[in-house]
A and B are shown apart, each in its own frame.
Chain A
Amino acid sequence: MNRYPLWKNLIVVVVVLVGLFYALPNFFGEEPALQISKRDGSMEQVALSEAQSALRAAGIEYGRSEIQGDSGLIRFNSTDDQLEAVDVVRAALGGDYPVALNLAPAAPTWLTDLGALPMYLGLDLRGGVHFLMQVDMGAAIKTALERRVDGMRADLRGERLRYVSAEVTDEQRIQVRFRDAESRDQAIEQLTEGYEDLEFDSTEIDGEPYLTATMTEEGVETERRAALEQNITTLRNRVNELGVAEPLIQQQGDSRIVVELPGIQDTVRAKEILGATATLEFRLVHGSPADWVDADESGSIPPQARLYQRRDGGPVLLKRQVIVTGDRVTGASSGFDQDSGSPAVFVNLDSQGARRMADITGDNIGQQMGVVFIENRIDTQVDENGKLIEEKKLVEEVINVATIRDQLANRFQITGLDSSEEARNLSLLLRAGALRAPMDIVEERTVGPSLGAENIQAGVNAAILGFVLVAIFMMIYYRVFGVIAVVALVTNLVLIVAVLSMLQATLTLPGIAGIVLTVGMAVDANVLIFERIREELRNGMTPHAAMKAGYERAFATILDANITTLLAALALFAFGTGPIKGFAVTLSIGILASVFTAVMLSRALANLVYGRQARLKGLSI
């Protein structure tokens, strides 16, 4: 007699039911929807109701609406309605509520409330952009050193220690030149305390006394981490500004960031926004236009000034001292200058920035102020030895020079931009904050929506064909036991889908290939068992004994065979990226699920069919 104890049967039933439940949401498909979030906060019901009444007023039909997590969701019957609705909702709620197009699972609420969600499709299946960005750590360190130099200048002035020049060299070193060795030594003594992350040294260069300072290893590490964190935060803000549903922004390694934007097709604009390190600096103008041209032609620049080029042509000298930088900006919006009608950006500053701006502009009414537009670019080149050289280009342009007519405070406008498009981008960048270090896109993969849909179709077709072929073969070859194997195989597929849905692991095209391949390999366990049963029957065992022996003896083999395959899958997961990881995930889940279905489930079924017959004559195998 072959019977499973009750607990084993219960395990099988419970696992299958749970699997069915979690696989269920995948059969409902998706509906077009709008995802509404709130800048700096979570979405409230009031705003959602406001959006709904605007839609009613515009005569656009909408479906189920709800608040999920931090954002609101309004569903539509068709993409046409959805596209019409975007503008209506944006107009109704205003700029504080980014609205994104999204596809929402159409599964009923009782399923989603219990955490049963459809599988998370990768970009190669749903379409979208994947970027891998390299953070320029050299530039991050250099900027950090430059901040230190600014502080040192102020400290030295405060201590009345005269220095000739202070700057950051290309070798990531601070160099301060003094008139005599005595003041240099005093300076080192004074500065050592305030700058724990710097190592000071005294040297002579061409007979002149110099102080040099380099950053300690811990200091560099701290700066690197800070640069990465701030860049991730900034990217997140920018992506929210773009209105992308379900974006992914993640650290990879110690200097890279992965950005995935589902549904985005316009990569050019996405890149402009993400990669731009554009920021602003406000500085007072130095000297007169005649001085500017002089400095440009002679190359002798006054020590307290820096030479810039104006966007509209010609040089300009600005004071070294910065009034306010872009990171003091709390809000920015684009529009048009009321007087001239040219594109303008309206800027709000935080209290500290506003105070500085008020102090300096108050003291300098009638003087001119320049707005510097700073953009960082990296070009990667390969030299003749095949080595990579990264060439950094810093574009610093003065976009606007204007006379200070009044004391500026926390709100003012900037003009001098090329187009309203540029005004919009600059306001977006200022709002989202500055990147701490420039970044370069080192990998990009964009998939259009139609290719994504084709990939899904191709994967599903292959899975169905593979399954049908294997099922037909098994049923012909093993008859009743073949049917058992096919039931186990179907359950295996359900379990894979269920686990993928539960983990919300990303399903990619290679991932689907992994599932299809699992169909072929999953029957292996059953083949091993059935061949063993046939063998034991030939050796003269009774049907019951043969069944028992078949399942039990084949088990060790099944375990050994699957563990080695699992080893390969895990290595794939550990070293693979993107789509390959997706393949490793489905392969691993498939292996685990197949051991359960082929051993426990198929045994339970076989027991159900044959187990109770005391006088079993033979097996249909």
Chain B
Amino acid sequence: MNLFPSDARFDFFGKRYFAYALSAILLLVAAGSLATKGLNLGLDFTGGVVIELGYPGGADIDAVRETLDAKGFENAVAQLFGSSESVMIRLPPTDDSHSRLADELLIAMQSETADVEMRRVEYVGPAVGKELFNAGGLALLVVLAGILVYVGFRFQVRLAGGAILALAHDLVVVLGIVSLLGLRFDLTVLAAFLALAGYSINDTIVVFDRIRENFQKMRKGTEKEVMNASVNQTMSRTVITSGTTFLTALALFVFGGEALSGFSLTLLLGIAIGTFSSIYVASAVSLDMGLKRQDLLKIDDKERLKQAEDSNTP
């Protein structure tokens, strides 16, 4: 059984300008949304209070809002969370934000409805939120730098450039979609982004590996032809792995509950974008950056080539 014909000879690189155009549009939309709409930063990064309450037998969201108003929490936002029995209330960070605020909110709600159940209380101080945000940004940069160094060392600088561009492309586009959809960006979504960085590069590496192998094996053919063949040969694997990873992310999205919905949705988006970019962005950019056969030959191959040239010249 084959999902992708084994003897395929698709001209991936001939059509790369269409892909570039698509990427450019995606990037523009993403950048536009990030610039105008921005990210819907969650409690982890902004600070503030979130409580989740369980109302056995169903919550009356209007009554909850009235209670909030009556108890002096005018700026609180209440919404159903995941099911009709669960209500999430968030208080935006205020000047005198303090963990006591969470207690006051909880006590106020519990005094109104007797059998309300505390499911979750989270308080993040403004300073901690800023730190978490910075640590997250730093983690992302370290991942990018680490991958750049590793790919540059194991493969070649132009491929490393292509890989990093593809990775940055994936992250920016997915971030843009997260912004566009208004998904809440919290610590778990950040974790999804970092996992995505690993996944996206994984996909790219497999294609690169084949490109390197083919440059050493196929002595004939232009760079473009060799790279085309490589992408065709790895296509089947790319489709299957993306498929299985997509399936598990889907399982998380369906069964993982509200707590993981942002995480799994980010992964689903990222897997789709990452698959496209490892074919088009990473390899195609490397080609356009001037990747040459010699760049990927083993050192002893290079020497043999040189010796052959030397012996030819009298």
Contact = CB atoms under 8 A, between A and B. Distances in A.
Interface of A: 124, 132, 134, 265, 267-268, 271, 379-382, 388, 440-448, 450-451, 454-455, 458-459, 461-463, 465-467, 469-470, 473-474, 476-477, 509-510, 513-514, 516-517, 519-521, 523-524, 527-528, 531, 534-535, 538, 553, 556-557, 560-569, 571-572, 574-580, 583-584, 587
12 contacts: A268-B107, A379-B98, A380-B125, A441-B125, A442-B127, A469-B244, A477-B1, A510-B263, A513-B252, A516-B256, A538-B6, A579-B191
Contacts of A531: 234, 236-237, 240
B265 to A, nearest CB: 12
B123 A448 contact: no
Given A267-B121, A509-B260, A517-B267, A523 B241 contact: yes
Contact of B233 (A446, A535, A572): A535
With a 10 A CB-CB cut-off, give which of B102, B213, B246, B267 has the most chain A CB atoms.
B102
B120 A451 contact: yes
B194 interface: yes
A566 B143 CA distance: 10
A303 to B, nearest CB: 37
A446 B206 contact: no
Nearest to B94: A382
Contact of B199 (A510, A521, A578): A521
A128 B132 CA distance: 22
Q: Identify whether the interface residues of B are mostly helix, strand, loop, or mixed.
A: helix
A473 B188 contact: no
A311 B308 CA distance: 98
Interface string B226-267: 000000011011001101111111111011110110011001
Contacts of A445: 120-123
B195 A568 contact: yes
B59 to A, nearest CB: 15
A527 B123 CA distance: 44
A267 B143 CA distance: 37
A466 B240 CA distance: 15
Contacts of B139: 571-572, 574-576
Contact of A441 (B123, B146, B237, B243): B123
B237 A510 contact: no
Contacts of B143: 567-568, 571-572
B150 interface: yes
A517 B195 contact: yes
B249 to A, nearest CB: 7
Chain B interface size, as a band, is: 35 or more
Query: Shortest 9 CB-CB distances between A and B: which pairs?
Result: A568-B198, A520-B248, A575-B139, A466-B251, A466-B248, A520-B245, A565-B198, A442-B125, A458-B257
B251 A516 contact: yes
Given A388-B126, A446-B118, A473-B243, A528 B248 contact: no
A458 B255 contact: yes
A572 B154 contact: no
Given A455-B257, A520-B245, A534-B6, A567 B198 contact: yes
B73 to A, nearest CB: 17
Contact of A565 (B97, B202, B246, B254): B202
Nearest to A460: B255
Contact of A561 (B132, B206, B245, B263): B206
Contacts of B247: 466, 469-470, 473, 520
A382 B198 contact: no
B187 to A, nearest CB: 6
Contacts of A538: 6
A172 to B, nearest CB: 21
Given A462-B254, A517-B248, A564-B205, A450 B198 contact: no
B119 interface: yes
Interface string B149-166: 011001000000000000
Given A473-B243, A510-B263, A571-B143, A446 B120 contact: yes
B256 A458 contact: yes
Contacts of B1: 476-477
A440 B241 CA distance: 48
A265 B102 CA distance: 13
B134 to A, nearest CB: 9
Given A458-B256, A470-B244, A563-B150, A575 B191 contact: no
Contacts of B100: 271
A193 B287 CA distance: 74
A132 B47 CA distance: 13
Nearest to A525: B241
B124 interface: yes
B256 A448 contact: no
